[in-house]
Structure 1
Amino acid sequence: MEANNWLEKITAPFKTLTNTTFAKLYFAQIASLFGDAFTWLGLALLSYEISPKNAAAILASALTLRVTAYIIFSPFAGVVSEKFQRKQILLITQIARMAIVCVLPFVNAEWQLYALIFVLNVFAAFFTPTYRAIIPQIVEKETYREANGLSMATFQLLSVFGPALAGVVALWLGSTQIFFVNGATLFIAILVILSIPKTALQKGVSSYNVVPQKTWDEVLKGIRLLFTNKILRFALSIEFISAIAGAIVLVNTVGLVKTNLQLDDKHFGWIMSIFGVGAAITAFLLGSLDKSQTRRISLISGAMLIGIAISFANFVPYNGLMFLWVLAGIGQTLADMPSETLIGENIEPQDQGKVYGAHFAFSHLWWAIAYPIAGFQGTQFPDRVFLDGGLLTLFLAIITIFIFQNKTKV
Structure 2
Amino acid sequence: MHIKQGLSFSQSLAKKLGVAWWYGLMAFHLYNLFFNSARTSIVYPLLLASACWLIWRRKIHARFFLDPVGGALVIFLGVGILSNVANDRPATDLMQAVWFLYPYYWGKYLVSSNAMRPEAFCRMFIAFATIFAMAFIFGHYALGLDSLAGKDFIRSDGRFVFTFKYPVRVGLYLGTAVLFCLHFLMERGLMSREGWLWAVDAVCLFPFCILKSQDRTTFALLGAWVTALLVSYRKVRLLIVLGFVGAALVLSLGLTDRMLVRPADFWSSPAMLYRYSFWEVSLRLFCEQPLLGHGYGSFSDLYRPYVDEHRETLLFTDIDPDETATHNMNLSLLAQTGLLGFLAMNAAFFFTIWGFWRYRSRDPILWVLMLTVAYYYMAMQMNVFLHSHHSNKLVFLVMGLVGGRLFSGTGNGGGLKQDDPNLA
Coarse TM-score class (shorter-chain normalised)? under 0.3
- Structure in which a larger fraction of residues adopt helix: 1
Return the TM-score normalized by structure 2: 0.24
Q: Which has the larger radius of gyration?
A: 2
Return the TM-score normalized by structure 1: 0.24
